[in-house]
């Protein structure tokens, strides 16, 4: 139904737009003892980012109605090519008087919604219904749940998620005489493998086959996993200040620069490049992604692949992003909205997130017991998806002005990848710009 991979641009001006939206109501006070089943209309905003997306949400609504037949789910589609545009479109809806009860959104949008006072914390409701939620919370990795906390308050419950792992073409590894990478491999191991996998048969300095390829069309898939593995971040823990000019970030950018121009094991990323195609035909032996490529690869009948956790450098840590459903303060039906949130945590719904061997879903279920079933699906090492979070995963940074934050970093990272700026100079310039974007004032 959806994927978490494209995360970029589109929120400029949305903060000012949201400031004009009238806010009212307090969720915890408006939801009573819930002695009666919820009824009435409930509006759900969703990102309409593909031809079959609305059908997927209609199926979800139909399932919800089998349990709550007196609730009419009204789906409110919002178009957009990325998370930022989707959030900006939602802001336009709100400013125009639309009052949804909840929306589907990911990590990148949480601070934006909370800082603009649009959504309410769930803590009182979770305390009231703790017995009902106990199984779900014990079955879901703590980092996924904690990723939806702001100032110690819980604003969403994880529905599905993705993290960054390394995909490798098993044919290319066999061709190069390489053993599959181990779970504890390092950045040095990665580079050594990438060199053996790079082929420049005619010796003209431009390889016909590369050891690795990556993109720069979103923060999630660009430098961020390497920055985390290097012990760095782009923002402070409280999202109040940027840290783009830290030694850890600069060194991670230098590493990527050197993969392109010194080691020559990866091409410079190009907008719109067919990374999946290059991986399937062996032009790129390794790439970084979450679960989302498996739907493409399965449809193409391509199964000469496997995955491994992200290579460590200073620490073993990869990046993840989660999605869920925040409840709006001024929604008309908070009882139904809360019932929907709880429904989406059930084993019945979570199991549907697996998809099938013929058509796997693009995301990973939040429930560990459901995600365990991935071990019986392609790729063979699918346990690495959940294992990466258990072994030190960290949420993608999502400050309130996410689109400006992301687009600024990607612009300067792109200059590094194009060999037009040094990592130190690029990150110094990025830091200066980001200092006006990532603030708490």
Residue 67: which of 429, 344, 266 has the closest Cα? 344
Q: Which CATH number fits domain 165-317+401-434: 3.40.50.720, 3.40.630.40, 3.40.190.10, 3.40.718.10?
A: 3.40.190.10
Other CB atoms closer than 10 Å to residue 270's CB: what's the count?
14
User: Residue 241: left (phi > 0), alpha (psi -120 to 50), or beta?
Assistant: beta
Report the C-alpha gap between 122 and 100 in whole angstroms.
17
List the pLDDT tens digit at each of the 441 positions of the chain: 433 343 333 333 344 344 334 333 334 444 445 558 999 999 999 999 888 899 999 999 999 999 999 999 999 999 987 777 888 899 899 999 999 999 999 999 999 999 999 999 999 999 999 999 999 999 999 999 999 999 999 999 999 999 999 999 999 999 999 999 999 999 999 999 999 999 999 999 999 999 999 999 989 999 999 999 999 999 999 999 999 999 999 999 999 999 999 999 999 999 989 999 999 999 999 999 999 999 999 999 999 999 999 999 999 998 999 999 999 999 999 999 999 999 999 999 999 999 999 999 999 999 999 999 999 999 999 999 998 888 778 999 999 998 899 999 999 999 999 999 999 999 999 999 999 999 997
pLDDT at res. 24: 34
The CB-side HSE value for 57 (13 A sphere, CA atoms) comes to: 21
Lay out the sheet containing 40-47: strands in order across: 71-78, 40-47, 102-103
Neighbouring-strand partners of residue 71: 40
The CB-side HSE value for 201 (13 A sphere, CA atoms) comes to: 3
Residue 347 backbone dihedrals phi, psi, to 5 degrees: -60, -40
Strands (E) in 157-210, as ranges, are 160-163, 165-169
Three-class SS state of 173:
helix
pLDDT at res. 156: 98
Q: How far is CA 257 from CA 343, 416, 418, in A?
A: 46, 6, 8
Residue 106: which of 418, 429, 397, 437 has the closest Cα? 397
Q: How many residues does the chain have?
A: 441
Quick check: do 14-162+321-390 and 165-317+401-434 share a fold? yes
Strands (E) in 245-387, as ranges, are 286-289, 305-308, 319-324, 364-365
- The gap from C-alpha 222 to its chain's centroid, in whole angstroms, comes to 12
Report the C-alpha gap between 391 and 377 in whole angstroms.
21
User: What's this model's pTM, rounded to 2 decimal places?
Assistant: 0.91
Q: Are 224 and 253 in contact (CB under 8 A)?
A: no
**How many helices and strands, by DSSP H and E, does the chain display?**
20, 13
Retrieve residue 91's tokens: 């802001």
Q: Are 171 and 306 in contact (CB under 8 A)?
A: no
Burial of 304 (0-12, 13-18, 19+ CB in 10 A): middle
Q: Domain spans of the chain?
A: 14-162+321-390, 165-317+401-434
Residue 133 backbone dihedrals phi, psi, to 5 degrees: -95, -5
> At the top level of CATH, which class does the domain 14-162+321-390 belong to?
alpha beta
Retrieve residue 50's tokens: 């593909």
H or E stretch including 88? helix 83-95
162 DSSP assignment: E
Report the C-alpha gap between 428 and 382 in whole angstroms.
39
pLDDT at res. 51: 85
pLDDT at res. 91: 86
* Owner of token pair 């919604």: 113
Retrieve residue 13's tokens: 């001006």
Burial of 61 (0-12, 13-18, 19+ CB in 10 A): middle
Interior/surface letters 239-255, b for 16+ CB within 10 angstroms, e for the rest: beebbbbbebbbbbbbb
Residue 38 backbone dihedrals phi, psi, to 5 degrees: -65, 155
In angstroms, how far apart are the furthest CA atoms of the chain? 75
Report the C-alpha gap between 256 and 201 in whole angstroms.
24
């Amino acid at each position: 139904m959806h994927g978490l991979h494209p995360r970029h641009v589109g929120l400029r001006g949305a903060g000012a737009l949201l400031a004009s939206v009238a806010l009212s109501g307090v969720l915890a006070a408006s939801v009573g003892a819930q002695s009666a089943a919820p009824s009435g209309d409930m509006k759900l905003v969703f990102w309409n980012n593909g031809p079959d997306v609305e059908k997927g949400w209609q199926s979800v609504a139909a399932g919800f109605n089998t349990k709550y037949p007196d609730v009419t789910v009204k789906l409110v589609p919002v178009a957009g090519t990325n998370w930022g545009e989707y959030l900006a479109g939602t802001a336009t809806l709100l400013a125009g008087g639309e009052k949804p009860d909840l929306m589907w959104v990911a990590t990148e949008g949480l601070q934006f919604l909370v800082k603009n006072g649009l959504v309410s914390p769930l803590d009182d409701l979770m305390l009231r219904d703790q017995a009902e939620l106990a199984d779900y919370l014990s079955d879901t990795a703590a980092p996924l749940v904690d990723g939806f906390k702001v100032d110690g308050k819980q604003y969403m419950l994880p529905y599905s998620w993705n993290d960054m792992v390394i995909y490798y073409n098993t044919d290319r590894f066999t061709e190069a005489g390489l053993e599959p990478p181990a779970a504890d491999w390092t950045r040095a191991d990665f580079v050594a493998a990438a060199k053996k996998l790079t082929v420049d048969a005619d010796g003209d300095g431009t390889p016909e086959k590369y050891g690795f390829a990556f993109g720069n069309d979103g923060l999630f898939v660009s430098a961020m996993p390497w920055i985390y593995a290097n012990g760095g971040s782009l923002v402070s823990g409280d999202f109040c200040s940027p840290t783009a000019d830290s030694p850890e970030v600069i060194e991670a950018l230098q590493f990527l620069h050197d993969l392109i121009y010194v080691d020559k094991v990866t091409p410079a990323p190009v907008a719109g490049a067919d990374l999946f195609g290059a991986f399937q035909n062996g032009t790129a032996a390794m790439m970084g992604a979450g679960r989302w490529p498996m739907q493409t690869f399965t449809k193409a009948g391509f199964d000469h692949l496997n995955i491994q956790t992200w290579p460590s450098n200073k620490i073993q840590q990869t990046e993840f992003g989660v999605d869920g459903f925040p409840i709006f303060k001024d929604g008309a039906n908070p009882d139904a909205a809360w019932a929907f949130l709880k429904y989406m945590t059930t084993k019945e719904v979570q199991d549907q997130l697996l998809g099938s061997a013929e058509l796997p879903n693009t995301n990973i279920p939040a429930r560990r017991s459901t995600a365990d079933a991935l071990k019986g699906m392609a790729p063979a090492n699918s346990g690495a998806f959940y294992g990466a979070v258990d072994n030190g995963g960290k949420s993608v940074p999502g400050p309130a002005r996410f689109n400006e934050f992301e687009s600024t970093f990607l612009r300067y990272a792109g200059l590094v990848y194009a060999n037009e700026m040094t990592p130190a100079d690029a990150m110094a310039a990025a830091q200066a710009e980001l200092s006006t974007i990532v603030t708490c004032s």
